[in-house]
């Protein structure tokens, strides 16, 4: 009996430390997203941590692709939104993957003046950048 009470206490402390760490991490993320909100649209800052130089390179490479924007979008264009399969995606060019390797294998589409980056496995929006 004594051992199980002691073990429960160990787990409680471990859970509390994990919760504190998660709280600290989320506080850090919210501070960063406030800074990034100036450079991205909607909640895009939560998905990708891009420097000004990276954003500039990505937008210039996408412009060179001469992709036609999607015209019949009837869903919320923000990070975390799942995109319907009927939307026509384009593979991200190699130059973009070089700039931001986390997006290897990801795709994009354009909506008005926005570049929308999508994880093709989940069809979730991971970033929204001004084009």
The confidence band for 26, taking pLDDT boundaries of 50, 70 and 90, is very low
Per mean pLDDT, which range of 1-10, 15-24, 86-95 is the poorest? 15-24
Strand ranges of the sheet holding 124-130, from the earlier edge strand across to the other edge: 90-91, 107-111, 114-119, 124-130
- Range 31-43 burial, b when 16+ CB lie within 10 A, else e: eebeebeeebbbb
Query: What is the CB neighbour count within 10 angstroms for residue 67?
Result: 16
Q: Report the pLDDT averaged over residues 90-99.
A: 96
96-124 pLDDT per residue, tens = 999 999 999 999 999 999 999 999 999 99
- Domain borders along the chain are 37-130
Answer yes or no: pTM beyond 0.95: no
CATH tag, 37-130 = 3.10.450
C-beta of residue 125 within 8 angstroms of C-beta of residue 108: no
């Amino acid at each position: 009996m004594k051992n199980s009470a002691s073990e429960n206490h160990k787990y409680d402390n471990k859970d509390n430390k994990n919760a504190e760490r998660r709280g600290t991490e989320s506080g850090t993320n919210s501070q960063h997203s406030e800074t990034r909100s100036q450079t991205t649209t909607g909640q895009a800052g939560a998905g990708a941590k891009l420097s000004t130089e990276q954003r500039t390179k990505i937008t210039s490479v996408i412009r060179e692709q001469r992709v036609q924007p999607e015209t019949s979008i009837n869903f919320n264009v923000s990070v975390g939104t799942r995109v319907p399969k009927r939307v026509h995606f384009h593979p991200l060019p190699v130059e973009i993957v070089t700039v931001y390797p986390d997006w290897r294998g990801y795709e994009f589409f354009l909506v008005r003046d926005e570049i929308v980056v999508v994880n093709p496995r989940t069809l979730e929006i991971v970033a929204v950048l001004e084009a």
